């Protein structure tokens, strides 16, 4: 797999066949396959046997190298915020350096009280009961710590389908069994949640707003329905990811406190910059204590220098105005792309965030066609657990200017229906 000799999707030989080929016992091969599954390298595909995962979390020789962008190809696949809309960190770094107290020690480091106080107020304004607070190195790090604190390899966790590709890889790498949680533009479906919980899911991971890849957001009515279902499963861990935070154009409807074990994560990476690896974690007292205890055994703490920088950003009204401007810009671009696609007879989804989800009949054809036309987009297969056969592509709008969106919409139509006349021609 590291050398690229076993490509993603490759089916491995049946246990007894490989045992005979290698001259070892079937139990040895079965044990090896089990280890590969626990490390997230392979998955069981029912009657189709065991196959290499589409995105194994162990880097291969080629994947380990960062390749430069292809000449003439616009990157609408990475999913990063528009760097033109991020706040300038320079003045705040200088302010933090000038006001820095004595360096933090191993004994005293941890969550800064001033950061916790600001986070509590910001979360309370959105209806999140934020009694216990800690910080993690980004949203995915927080999700990993929450799942590790409550679950063991083999446990079942409900994850959105389609969902965040990195989260799907993380669940596999932790040795957990992913249970598909269907979603629509109002968030996880009630029937899907009931099915996942009845099937033994011990944890549920939900994106509050700007769901990746569909742009869905949990509505007020859906939230109330989901809370009623969760009320009957008080021992289930509920993890909420509000990574868009201040960039979201819709109000937050939280599941916090719906069960006895919960964690609500809010990252700063999308509004303030991807290199700011910090997320605030609120949760019930026992869950937060478990996460903090596990952190001390590993990373120790999230840098207090980084925490002070986030405090400075949160306290600057000019930064708040810049984030609000970014929110309006993403909303405008996302709406424009959906409108242009609709005018060409193509459905597109994305209530919030920086991505638009476009159902297509043949995603391989469309991805290749767009690539040839100068656009890199993400195939929907990377975001699915396989429960839905429908094709789709994910388009990140942050690199786009509104003036070029009609041309992109024409190009998408041409890729979906080769030979068909483009809009207005």
Sequential DSSP letters for 373-417: TTEE-EEGGGG--SS---EEEEEE-TT--GGGHHHHHHHHHHHHS
How much is the pLDDT for 45? 65
What's the average model confidence in pLDDT over 94-110?
81
- Tens of pLDDT along 12-50? 999 999 999 999 999 999 889 888 876 778 887 666 688
How much is the pLDDT for 425? 44
How much is the pLDDT for 131? 83
- Tens of pLDDT along 184-218? 999 999 999 999 999 999 999 999 999 999 999 99
Burial class of residue 21 in the structure, from the number of CB atoms within 10 Å of its CB (0-12 exposed, 13-18 middle, 19+ buried): exposed
Alpha carbon distance 37, 56 (integer Å): 10
Task: With beta carbons less than 8 A apart as the criterion, state whether 219 and 184 touch.
Answer: no
What's the average model confidence in pLDDT over 154-175?
92
Alpha carbon distance 214, 355 (integer Å): 7
Task: Look at residue 229 and tell me whether its pLDDT is greater than 90.
Answer: yes
User: Which residue, chain included where needed, has tokens 């499963």?
Assistant: 233
- Of 397, 396, 416, 386, the C-alpha closest to 162 is 386
Alpha carbon distance 208, 218 (integer Å): 6
Phi and psi torsions of 391, nearest 5°: -85, 155
What's the average model confidence in pLDDT over 342-370?
95
Burial class of residue 86 in the structure, from the number of CB atoms within 10 Å of its CB (0-12 exposed, 13-18 middle, 19+ buried): buried
What's the average model confidence in pLDDT over 105-124?
89
- Tens of pLDDT along 301-343? 889 999 999 999 999 999 999 999 999 999 999 999 999 999 9
Tell me the pLDDT band of 60, cut-offs 50, 70 and 90: very low
How much is the pLDDT for 298? 82
In DSSP terms, 184 is beta-bridged to 187
Task: With beta carbons less than 8 A apart as the criterion, state whether 56 and 10 touch.
Answer: no
Alpha carbon distance 359, 42 (integer Å): 27
CA dihedral 223→176→385→279, nearest 10 degrees, is 50
> How, if at all, do strands 378-379 and 391-396 pair?
antiparallel
Tell me the pLDDT band of 61, cut-offs 50, 70 and 90: very low
| DSSP helix/strand/coil, 315 | coil
Task: Look at residue 176 and tell me whether its pLDDT is greater than 80.
Answer: yes
Q: What is the mean pLDDT of the chain?
A: 90
Task: Look at residue 126 and tell me whether its pLDDT is greater than 80.
Answer: yes
How much is the pLDDT for 1? 80
How much is the pLDDT for 386? 66
What's the average model confidence in pLDDT over 406-421?
88
Q: What percent of the chain has pLDDT over 90?
A: 72
- Of 386, 395, 421, 402, the C-alpha closest to 43 is 386
User: Which residue, chain included where needed, has tokens 């929450």?
Assistant: 146
- Rounded to the nearest 5 percent, the helix, strand and coil shares of the chain are 40, 15, 40
Alpha carbon distance 70, 101 (integer Å): 46
Would you give the DSSP letter of residue 349? B
- Of 347, 350, 339, the C-alpha closest to 390 is 347
- Tens of pLDDT along 364-405? 899 999 999 999 999 998 898 865 668 999 999 999 999 999
Tell me the pLDDT band of 57, cut-offs 50, 70 and 90: low
The span from the first CA to the last CA of the chain, in angstroms, equals 47
How much is the pLDDT for 7? 84
Residue 46's contacts (CB-CB under 8 Å, 6 or more residues apart) are none
How much is the pLDDT for 12? 92
Token pair, residue 382, equals: 């990377």
| DSSP helix/strand/coil, 277 | coil
CA dihedral 271→220→396→338, nearest 10 degrees, is -130
- Of 253, 236, 235, the C-alpha closest to 193 is 236
Tell me the pLDDT band of 56, cut-offs 50, 70 and 90: low
Task: Look at residue 9 and tell me whether its pLDDT is greater than 90.
Answer: no
User: Is the omega angle on the peptide bond into residue 213 within 30 degrees of 0, that is, cis?
Assistant: yes
For the chain, which domains are there?
A: 1-67 (1.10.10.10), 74-84+324-416 (3.90.1150.10), 88-315 (3.40.640.10)
Alpha carbon distance 259, 253 (integer Å): 15
Task: Give the up-direction half-sphere exposure of residue 305: CA atoms within 13 A in the CB hemisphere.
Answer: 8
What's the average model confidence in pLDDT over 281-310?
90
Alpha carbon distance 211, 180 (integer Å): 15
């Amino acid at each position: 797999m590291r050398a690229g000799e076993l490509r993603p999707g490759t089916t491995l030989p049946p246990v007894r066949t490989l045992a005979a080929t290698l001259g070892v016992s079937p139990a040895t091969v079965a044990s090896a396959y089990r280890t590969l599954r626990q490390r997230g390298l392979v998955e069981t595909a029912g009657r189709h046997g065991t196959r290499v995962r589409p995105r194994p979390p162990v880097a291969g020789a080629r994947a380990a190298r960062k390749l430069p962008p292809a000449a003439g190809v616009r990157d609408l696949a990475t999913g990063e915020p528009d760097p033109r809309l991020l706040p300038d960190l320079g003045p705040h770094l200088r302010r933090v350096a000038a006001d820095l107290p004595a360096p933090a020690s191993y004994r005293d480091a941890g969550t800064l009280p001033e950061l916790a106080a600001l986070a509590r107020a910001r979360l309370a304004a959105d209806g999140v009961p934020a009694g216990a607070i800690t910080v993690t190195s980004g949203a995915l790090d927080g999700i990993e710590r929450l799942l590790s604190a409550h679950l063991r390899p083999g446990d079942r966790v409900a994850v959105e389908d389609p969902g965040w590709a990195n989260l799907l890889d993380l669940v596999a790498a932790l040795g957990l069994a992913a249970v598909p949680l269907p979603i629509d533009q109002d968030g996880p479906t009630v029937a899907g949640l009931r099915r996942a919980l009845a099937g033994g899911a011990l944890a549920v991971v939900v994106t509050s707003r700007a769901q990746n890849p569909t742009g869905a957001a949990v509505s007020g009515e859906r939230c109330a329905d989901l809370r009623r279902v969760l009320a009957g499963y008080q021992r289930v861990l509920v993890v909420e990811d509000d990574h868009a935070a201040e960039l979201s154009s819709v109000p937050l409807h939280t599941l916090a406190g719906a069960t006895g074990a919960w964690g609500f994560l809010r990252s700063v990476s999308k509004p303030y910059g991807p290199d700011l690896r910090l997320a605030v974690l609120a949760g019930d007292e026992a869950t937060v204590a478990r996460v903090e205890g596990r952190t001390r055994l590993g990373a120790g703490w999230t840098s207090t220098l980084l925490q002070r920088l986030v405090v400075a950003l949160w306290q600057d009204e000019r930064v708040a105005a810049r984030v609000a401007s970014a929110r309006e810009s993403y909303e405008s671009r996302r709406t424009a792309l959906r409108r242009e696609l609709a005018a060409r007879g193509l459905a597109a989804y994305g209530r919030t965030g920086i991505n638009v989800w476009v159902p297509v009949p043949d995603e391989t054809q469309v991805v290749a066609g767009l690539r040839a036309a100068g656009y890199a987009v993400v195939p929907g297969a990377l975001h699915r657990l396989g429960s839905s056969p429908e094709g789709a592509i994910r388009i990140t709008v942050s690199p786009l200017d509104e003036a070029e969106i009609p041309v992109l919409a024409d190009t998408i139509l041409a890729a979906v229906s080769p030979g068909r006349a483009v809009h207005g021609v």
